[in-house]
Amino acid sequence: MVSPVTETIRFDLQVIADWIEPGSRVLDLGCGKGDLLAWLTANKQIVGTGIELDKEKAAYCIGRGLSVLQGDLSEEVADYPDKSFDYVILSQTLQQIYEPAQLLYSLSRIGRRVIVSFPNFSHYTIRLQLMFSGHAPKNDQLPYSWYDTPNIRVITLSDFQKFARDVGYTIVKEIAINTNSANSSGSVVDFLPNLRATYGIFVIEKKG
């Protein structure tokens, strides 16, 4: 009953979609216009919910038959009972969260597994820019200037691995990817990922 997906979804979302088992209960945080949810609903028969702050995007999602709550994701996740979802997806949003540790704690409470993706700040182009130009780096993944960026956290793949360990999460899966500028295609980076990958995608769950 959800309107068919005409475009291919972003490469990082393709990777995430691959990991989701058919029939799962999925919460997509910052779901935008609902491309991932629509794809998962059509291809993996998931029971999906999205949360999106932008009213027009949320309305667009609802209009295409998706279940989406318009609101602030940090507030909205607080009200769900424990283990309401099989997967909670936080895609390319972690770098914009004011209290990431607290949010991830909430997500691991309401979801069996949490999928987190973010742009890798230690990509070699960023390192080189900072080193040679002396300016705050910009690239396709992080296109903003220091004064207008919504990305208030700079995270590297190594940072996240350390954080997950320190805070008590098990990293169930991780993958580093490199995408083209349109983000529609890309490849998996196995060699020196912290240096060469533009994005990191992690599946974590709470220990114990």
Q: Is 63 in the site for other proteins (CB under 8 A)?
A: yes
Burial class (CB in 10 A: 0-12, 13-18, 19+), 27: buried
Task: With contacts defined by CB under 8 A, name the span among 4-12, 68-76, 97-105, 146-154 that binds other proteins.
Answer: 68-76
At closest approach, how far in Å is the CB of 205 from other proteins?
A: 21
Q: Of the two residues 56 and 190, which places its CB atom closer to other proteins in the complex?
A: 56
Q: Of the two residues 2 and 167, which places its CB atom closer to other proteins in the complex?
A: 2
Helices (H) and strands (E) in the chain, counts: 8, 8
Task: Report 83-102 residues binding other proteins (CB under 8 A).
Answer: 84
Burial class (CB in 10 A: 0-12, 13-18, 19+), 174: middle
Ranges of beta strands (E only) in the chain are 25-29, 47-52, 68-70, 85-91, 111-119, 169-179, 186-188, 199-206
Residue from 8, 21, 43, 79 touching other proteins (CB under 8 A): that is: 79
Q: Of the two residues 46 and 157, which places its CB atom closer to other proteins in the complex?
A: 46
The answer to whether residues 17 and 80 touch, using CB atoms and an 8 Å cutoff, is no
Q: Of the two residues 84 and 161, which places its CB atom closer to other proteins in the complex?
A: 84
CA 7/CA 191 separation, integer angstroms? 31
Residue from 21, 23, 45, 55 touching other proteins (CB under 8 A): that is: 55
Residue from 17, 20, 26, 69 touching other proteins (CB under 8 A): that is: 69
State whether residue 71 is helix, strand or coil.
Answer: coil
At closest approach, how far in Å is the CB of 89 from other proteins?
A: 18
Q: Which residues of this chain interact with other proteins, rule CB under 8 A?
A: 1-2, 47, 49, 55, 58-59, 61-71, 79-81, 84
